[in-house]
Structure 1
């Protein structure tokens, strides 16, 4: 199978944040035949009955022979598994090679994992382990397995109401870094992320073996707040915070095993300069290359407010 004829795509992590969007967008394109690879314990009942679901007995890394049999005949594997399962992709990659799969999209979506400062601050599953999977894929290029990794920034619909503004959308409250409130960063919607993956596989020879940087919006905390206030017709209650003080408190919490610190740290690496949230300042934007449509920030925020 040559790379220009990818048709059969199997998706891992189809019940996560971006997984359902990947399934829907690939299923809507008649060029592709989509199927799902799932753990036996996962609930895939929300997917259309015409989409085949293949189940592994436990975790993705428990049965190499089982995976090889499932993946045989597939052209590409698209992984959207959760951060906690990132290392399990190595066994899937090995099985994909044995099965003759030619393309692998790792669950890289999110922050720029090449950023060393972010890697030192966040737990390994958010940056370091993702980067290690891409490095592992690079060693498999000699076996004929191609890959593409996507840098998307935080998912817009999830991050904006939950940590980017430290927002409380019900009571119209927001937490803003007073020293970085105007610093720009990138964020991508779930649908656009899925469309980017699908379009990359339509012309895989051009997207193979590289990172692709995409975004729906390039914004700041203050610019988001301004649009939200205009849409809601009222001033929000804003709490100004020192970014370094917030980081120190969050790092101390995390050291004690308190994972409620993660949203604050994610807000920090996104909004503070030097941690990769502003990856479009130093990277090449792939939106046009992937034929991604322009999006309306106001419309996207209105959906969240609803």
Structure 2
């Protein structure tokens, strides 16, 4: 069977937190013709490279988006929260009409195949409709498929923000329940690398991995399979501190989640942090997808990371 590979890839959101390293990872493969699609009002600058073409589009105009996406085989959508809804659906509709065959919708987070997580966290629920839209479009656009990348919280973003309950600047930690719940978390750069490696797979293959084997499915990646306590131990090693230097307390994961629900109900969306991370750090809710789904780290040739060394770079930045 053919070992043909993709050549023409478009990305929307290439200037964002995950988009930047993804664009760089695509460039590093030295095999893709890359179309960076931006809003007409965007002033974002991108690397100057002969393999990159920047096209602006009016996201409210179907024809404008179709024109920007024409001749691309795959589309990566790395949209911010405000664009995850209707804007994403409009881009998907246009991608189908432009002849795109592979769409990576804005997932890049929790396991959307876990219905409990979808029901619990509003932002997770927002990811369902784009996949349904792609499947509906495939009825009139044969060969159109989606692949969802699942990576759980971004490690460096979460540690810097204190979202793991560990504040390295003030040497304070809060363990939810006992801090021993195991979960997956991924470096932002590794997410970008995984996307580039995924799209570099052959479209079809008689044996071994291929894009087609992931059609309308999720692919799971992870840098660390860890716990709060293990992260604190790594932070202490990276900062040459010990328990005596830290203030550590315990709290109920469920109470933290309940607090988040109350905030969101009142229109305070900072409570979304409680829900996103509570879902990861409360036993049995699905943060440990590696235990049930496994990962495709080996298939994609992802590196094994040293948490202490990673944290040293974060702390020193």
Runs of 4+ residues over 4 Å off in structure 1: none
Moved more, 187-196 or 93-102: 93-102
CA distance in 2, matches of 1:145, 1:132: 16
Q: Is the 8 A contact 1:103 1:147 kept in 2?
A: yes
Partner residue in 2 for 1:273: 283
- What TM-score, normalized by structure 2, do the two folds share? 0.88
Contact map agreement 1:10 1:78 (CA 8 A) in 2? yes
SS in 2 for 1:43: coil
RMSD over aligned Cα atoms: 1.8
Counterpart CA distance in 1 for 2:48 and 2:155 is: 26
State the 1:3 CA deviation. Answer: 8.5
Contact 2:238–2:309 at 8 Å: present in 1 too?
no
1:12–1:38 contact (8 Å) kept in structure 2: yes
**Cross-structure match for 1:174:** 173
- How many matched pairs? 299
Other-structure match for 2:54 = 53
User: Alignment partner of 1:5: what SS?
Assistant: coil
Greater shift, 288-297 or 200-209, is seen at 200-209
Conservation of the 8 A alpha-carbon contact between 1:117 and 1:274: no
1:128 corresponds to: 125
Aligned to 1:4, the other structure's residue is in SS state coil
- Alignment match, 2:18: 18
Alignment partner, residue 62 of structure 2: 64
2:30 is paired with a residue whose SS is coil
Equivalent residue for 1:219? 226
> Aligned residue for 1:85?
83
Which whole-Å CA distance do the structure 2 matches of 1:42 and 1:16 have between them?
12
- The alpha-carbon deviation at position 46 of structure 1 amounts to 4.8
Deviations 1:250-283 (A, max 9, x none): 2111111112212222220111123221111110
1:3-39 per-position Cα deviation (integer Å, ceiling 9, x unaligned): 8331111111112110001111111221111121111
Instruction: Say if 2:211 is the partner of 1:207.
Output: yes
- Matches of 1:214 and 1:185 in 2, distance apart? 12
Q: Which residue of 2 aligns with 1:113?
A: 112
CA offsets 1:100-144 (integer angstroms, 9 cap, x no match): 122111111000112222222222xx2112122123223334422
For residue 120 of structure 1, give the secondary structure of its aligned residue in structure 2. Answer: helix
1:187 and 1:132 mapped to 2: Cα distance? 25
TM-score w.r.t. the length of structure 1 is 0.91
Counterpart selection for 2:269 from 241, 259, 264: 259
Matches within 5 A, 1:3-14: 4-14=4-14
Mapped contact 1:113–1:127 kept (Cα < 8 A)? yes
SS in 2 for 1:292: coil
Q: Which residue of 2 aligns with 1:37?
A: 37
Residues 39-62 of structure 1 show CA distances to partners (whole Å, capped at 9, x for unaligned) of 1233322533653221123xx3x1
Report the counterpart of residue 184 of structure 1 in structure 2. Answer: 182
Secondary structure of 1:212's counterpart equals: strand
Q: Distance in 2 between matches of 1:232 and 1:288?
A: 31
